[in-house]
Amino acid sequence: MPGEVTRFAPSPTGLLHLGHAYSAFDAADASGGGRFLLRIEDIDRTRCRPEFATAIEQDLAWLGLDWERPVRRQSEHLSDYQAALSKLDAMGLLYPCVLSRKELAAAFGPDSDDLTVVTDTDRILDHGVYAERLASGQPSALRLRMAQALKRTGPLTWTDDRHGVQTARPERQGDVVLARKETPTSYHLSVTVDDALQGITLVTRGMDLFASTDVHRLLQALLDLPTPRYRHHDLLVDASGTRLAKSHDSPSLRSLRDSGVTPEDVRSRLGHITR
Ligand code: GLU
Q: Give per-residue pLDDT as tens, 107-119.
A: 998 876 666 799 9
23 Cα: distance to centroid of ligand 1 (angstroms): 10
Give per-residue pLDDT as tens, 253-266: 999 999 999 999 99
Taking 60 as the threshold, does the pLDDT of residue 247 lie above it?
no
Model pLDDT for residues 71-122, shown as the tens digit of each residue: 999 999 999 999 999 999 999 999 999 999 999 999 998 876 666 799 999 9
Atom of ligand 1 nearest to the CA of 191: 9
| d(CA 10, ligand 1 centre) in Å | 5
173-195 residue pLDDT tens: 999 999 999 999 999 999 999 99
Ligand 1 atom at minimum distance from 208 CA:
10
* Domains of the chain, each with CATH number or no CATH: 1-76+236-275 (3.40.50.620), 77-194 (3.90.800.10)
| pLDDT of 272 strictly over 60 | no
CA 126–ligand 1 middle distance (angstroms):
37
Q: What gap in Å lies between CA 173 and CA 29, rounded to an integer?
A: 32
State if residue 209 touches ligand 1 by the CB under 6 angstroms criterion: yes
Contact 41, 74 (CB under 8 A): yes
Residues 186, 177 contacting (CB under 8 angstroms): yes
CA of 79 to the centre of ligand 1 (A): 20
pTM here is 0.95
